[in-house]
Amino acid sequence: MKVMKFGGTSVGKPHRMHEVAKLVTKDEESKIVVLSALSGTTNALVEISASLARGDRSAAKEQIDALDLHYQQFIQELLSDKTALTKAKAVIAEHFEFLTIILKISFSEALNKDILAQGELLSTKLFCIYLEEKKIDHILLPALDFMTIDGYDEPQIGAIKVKLAQLLQRNKDKNIFVTQGYISRNAKGEVDNLKRGGSDYSASLIAAAINASVCEIWTDIDGMHNNDPRIVKKTVPIEQLSFEEAAELAYFGAKILHPASIWPAQYFNVPVRLLNTLFPEAKGTLITEKAGSVGVKAVAAKDGITAIKIKSSRMLLAYGFLRKVFEVFEKYRTSIDMITTSEVAVSVTIDNDIYLGEITRELEVFGTVEIDTNQAIVSIVGNEITETKDIMEKLFESISSIPVRMVSYGGSRHNISLLIARSYKEETLQLLNVGLFGLD
Ligand code: ASP
Ligand code: MG
């Protein structure tokens, strides 16, 4: 049994949803099909929620009506059969009635989560109506019946496994199971979610829970590329990556895969394949335990980074200094990405500066604190790259014109990270494309 996950753009237009139906019926292997919301829907729901939180009901009403209209038009092109259309209209009516009711009740965080869940609930129900119209046998498995997170927002893989096994056992005669990505139930039993972009994470958790033969992530690009295709002109897809390499790339900026989705697949050793709905024959990228080849595979960049330098003579010959520094970040649940130290100073980077003020104030107890905002981490990822001598030479030669603020080397054998000012990001990626991959 395999998992096939389709993202928002893969289901975002009626004809694209038709293609998805073709892809899921292409082979005989039984499968769980995980869908995102139609592209744009979750953003629209976030805005509706924000309007309600501000108490601006008329803006919320306008946004709800616009989204409703979008779905009314969507089903006209998705379906041709009258009965199917009637069913789809009823589904839309049900979900938009809910959204209209919330206009009248007071806003809360639990309600916000309910609002955000509407996108995946709609996309999966409409897809199932289309499958039914096409007489494709299938069953909808509501994610809220099996996908659970604990009090720390961590998925409960053991419980998910047991519940899914029961659901599958109950529907043994079925070959195609459709379910929602992103949504889950929390420790209180309320509707919740795995955070933005979390459908990949759902797919990987499901694949781990059922010990799938493969977890296919279908998007609209043919796999992970060696560089950011939105920034540099020429990029090439990477055929094979190890879980470690993929995790570094996903975390440091390759937008194609949600970073959290690597660990379940890795832990339960389920291969992940990144595929392209627009070009299904393309090989895409295979992610497994094995790295495939030695050497640089890709570079990726992540913006919105803040660097914090703590300088203190008390650090000299002292022990326990770093622990105290780290405790401050732990207290504010802010994770550190890069770290470099000298005998009298330590520099770290964070990508979440909500508590920057509090963190700075507490760090000032230890010494002078300097903050650089608007930084970017450029990550060079590959197998055993830190053991490949000429890579370092080529790397620094190719970016000799760029001022580098921090270098992280040797933390793992698969990654070298550089911290640069955000304004140099594009130029750096382009220079590395030439210097490391010979792509102009
Ligand atoms: N629909 C959700 C989002 O846009 C989850 C996902 O697509 O992965 O964030
Ligand atoms: Mg996504």
Top mutation candidate among 199, 219, 255 for ligand 1, by most atoms within 8 Å of CB: 199
Instruction: Find out whether the beta carbon of 417 lies less than 6 Å from any atom of ligand 1.
Output: no
Residue after which a domain boundary falls, among 203, 220, 237: 220
- Structural domain harbouring 56: 2-220
Instruction: Find out whether the beta carbon of 12 lies less than 6 Å from any atom of ligand 1.
Output: no
**How does pLDDT run across 382-412, given as a tens digit for each residue?**
988 888 878 888 999 999 999 999 999 988 8
Give the confidence band of 298 by pLDDT, cuts at 50, 70, 90.
very high
Measured N-to-C along each axis, helices 157-170 and 199-209 cross at an angle, to the nearest 10 degrees, of: 70
Residue entry with tokens 């694949």: 207
CATH number of the domain enclosing 142: 3.40.1160.10
- 271 lies in some domain: no
Give the confidence band of 434 by pLDDT, cuts at 50, 70, 90.
very high
Top mutation candidate among 11, 34, 42 for ligand 1, by most atoms within 8 Å of CB: 42
**How does pLDDT run across 95-141, given as a tens digit for each residue?**
999 999 999 999 999 999 999 999 999 999 999 999 999 999 999 99
- How high is the mean pLDDT of the chain? 95
Same domain, 63 and 209: yes
Nearest ligand to the C-alpha atom of residue 123: 1
- 361 lies in some domain: yes
The most distant pair of C-alpha atoms in the chain lies apart, rounded to whole Å, by: 79
User: Could you tell me what percent of the chain has a pLDDT over 70?
Assistant: 99
d(Cα 303, Cα 378) in Å, to the nearest integer? 9
Domain count, the chain: 2
The HSE-up count of residue 440 (CA atoms within 13 Å, CB side) is 0
Instruction: Find out whether the beta carbon of 42 lies less than 6 Å from any atom of ligand 1.
Output: yes
CB-based burial label for 152 (10 Å; 0-12, 13-18, 19+): exposed
**How does pLDDT run across 15-58, given as a tens digit for each residue?**
999 999 999 999 999 999 999 999 999 999 999 999 999 999 99
β-pairing verdict for 272-276 and 215-219: parallel
**How does pLDDT run across 199-240, given as a tens digit for each residue?**
999 999 999 999 999 999 999 988 999 999 989 999 999 999
- 238 lies in some domain: no
Q: Is the pLDDT of residue 317 over 80?
A: no
Q: Is the pLDDT of residue 318 over 80?
A: no
Nearest to 36 by CA among 209, 218, 206: 218
More confident residue, 305 or 294: 305
Indicate which residue's Cα is closest to atom 8 of ligand 1: 197
Instruction: Find out whether the beta carbon of 201 lies less than 6 Å from any atom of ligand 1.
Output: no
Instruction: Find out whether the beta carbon of 199 lies less than 6 Å from any atom of ligand 1.
Output: yes
Give the confidence band of 245 by pLDDT, cuts at 50, 70, 90.
very high
Say how many Å lie between the CA of residue 315 and the centre of ligand 2: 43
- 430 lies in some domain: yes
More confident residue, 371 or 256: 371
> In this predicted structure, what is the pLDDT of residue 95?
98
This prediction's pTM: 0.91
Q: Out of 75-89, 241-255, 419-433, pick the least confident.
A: 241-255
Instruction: Find out whether the beta carbon of 435 lies less than 6 Å from any atom of ligand 1.
Output: no
CATH number of the domain enclosing 318: 3.30.2130.10
Nearest ligand to the C-alpha atom of residue 257: 2
Segment 151-180 mean pLDDT: 97
More confident residue, 67 or 253: 67
Say how many Å lie between the CA of residue 39 and the centre of ligand 2: 10
| SS3 of residue 410 by DSSP | strand
Segment 358-368 mean pLDDT: 95
CB-based burial label for 151 (10 Å; 0-12, 13-18, 19+): exposed
- 135 lies in some domain: yes
Instruction: Find out whether the beta carbon of 119 lies less than 6 Å from any atom of ligand 1.
Output: yes
- 421 lies in some domain: yes
Residue after which a domain boundary falls, among 220, 236, 260: 220
More confident residue, 293 or 192: 192
Same domain, 38 and 145: yes
Q: Is the pLDDT of residue 373 over 90?
A: yes
| SS3 of residue 340 by DSSP | strand
Indicate which residue's Cα is closest to atom 6 of ligand 1: 197
CA 69-72-73 angle, to 5 degrees, is: 90
> In this predicted structure, what is the pLDDT of residue 354?
96
- 268 lies in some domain: no
Residue entry with tokens 């660097």: 307
d(Cα 395, Cα 379) in Å, to the nearest integer? 11
d(Cα 140, Cα 128) in Å, to the nearest integer? 7
Q: Is the pLDDT of residue 372 over 90?
A: yes
Say how many Å lie between the CA of residue 357 and the centre of ligand 1: 30
- 371 lies in some domain: yes
